[in-house]
Amino acid sequence: MTKVVDLLTKARQGHVGALARLLSIVENEDAGAAEIVNATHANTGNAHIIGITGPPGAGKSSLVSVLVAAYRASYPRVAVVAVDPSSPFTGGAILGDRIRMRDRFLDEGVFIRSVANRGHSGGLGRAARRIVNVLDAMGFDIILVETVGVGQEEVEVVRVVDTVCLVTIPGAGDDIQAIKSGIMEIADVLVVNKADRPGADRAVKDFTQMLTLGAPRLDWKIPVVKTSSAANTGISELIVEIAKHRAWAIESGDAKRRVLEANRNEVEALLRERVLRQLAAQLGDGRFDETVARVANREIDPYGAVDLLLGSKLDKSPAVGVSAGT
Amino acid at 313: K
Residue 80 CB, nearest approach to a copy of itself (Å): 22
Residue 232 CB, nearest approach to a copy of itself (Å): 28
Q: Which is nearer to a copy of itself, 221 or 257 (CB)?
A: 257
Residue 108 CB, nearest approach to a copy of itself (Å): 28
**Got the DSSP string for 98-112?**
HHHHHHH---TTEEE
Q: Which is nearer to a copy of itself, 218 or 322 (CB)?
A: 322
Q: How far apart are CA 66 and CA 62, in angstroms?
A: 6
Q: How far apart are CA 262 and CA 155, in angstroms?
A: 13
Residue 265 CB, nearest approach to a copy of itself (Å): 9
Residue 109 CB, nearest approach to a copy of itself (Å): 26
Q: Which is nearer to a copy of itself, 219 or 298 (CB)?
A: 298
Q: Which is nearer to a copy of itself, 36 or 68 (CB)?
A: 36
Q: How far apart are CA 299 and CA 294, in angstroms?
A: 5
Residue 186 · residue 258 · CB < 8 Å: no
167-185 CB burial, b ≥16 within 10 A, e <16: bbbbebeebeeebeeebbe
Residue 88 CB, nearest approach to a copy of itself (Å): 4
Find residue 146's DSSP bridge partners. Answer: 52, 82
Residue 178 CB, nearest approach to a copy of itself (Å): 6
Helix axes 33-40, 4-12, angle to 10 degrees: 40
CA distances from 186 to 45, 86, 155 (A): 21, 20, 7
Q: Which is nearer to a copy of itself, 201 or 289 (CB)?
A: 289
Q: Which is nearer to a copy of itself, 6 or 307 (CB)?
A: 307
Residue 84 · residue 93 · CB < 8 Å: yes
**Got the DSSP string for 33-84?**
HHHHHHHHGGG-S-SEEEEEE--TTS-HHHHHHHHHHHHHTT-S-EEEEEEE
Residue 182 CB, nearest approach to a copy of itself (Å): 4
Q: Which is nearer to a copy of itself, 99 or 322 (CB)?
A: 322
Residue 271 burial class via C-beta count within 10 angstroms: exposed 0-12, middle 13-18, buried 19 and up: exposed
Q: Which is nearer to a copy of itself, 17 or 304 (CB)?
A: 304
